[in-house]
Amino acid sequence: MGFFDSLFGSVADNYSNLEYPLTEEKIKQLVTQARIISLTAGEEDLVERAIADRRRGDGKISLRQIYEVVRSLKYNHKISEADFRGLMKIFNEYFRRFGK
């Protein structure tokens, strides 16, 4: 945790730790549905695999865990900042439905 994270909290704190079921098929549908122009087919596959691999044995994952996976891909230069923002928007909208 960095200096500013300890003072102000991490951005990850904005995302829920509540886990919900998310199938591999749904992950693929959401990533493909995002229609992020700069996200190549290879990058889509990478994102889908990374999120699917992060799920627990029961197939559940939280929005915070998705954020951490996608953020890691961005910081490792596997996807762009625009890809990151677009993916988080799609997953935010999807997970918001669970909160109702």
- pLDDT computed for residue 84 by the predictor: 95
pLDDT digits (tens, 9 = 90+) for 12-67: 668 999 999 999 999 999 998 877 888 889 999 999 999 999 998 899 999 999 99
- pLDDT computed for residue 10 by the predictor: 58
Neighbours of 58 (CB within 10 A): 8
Cα–Cα dist 26/24, whole Å: 5
Which range is least confidently modeled, 4-8, 10-14, 29-33, 88-92?
4-8
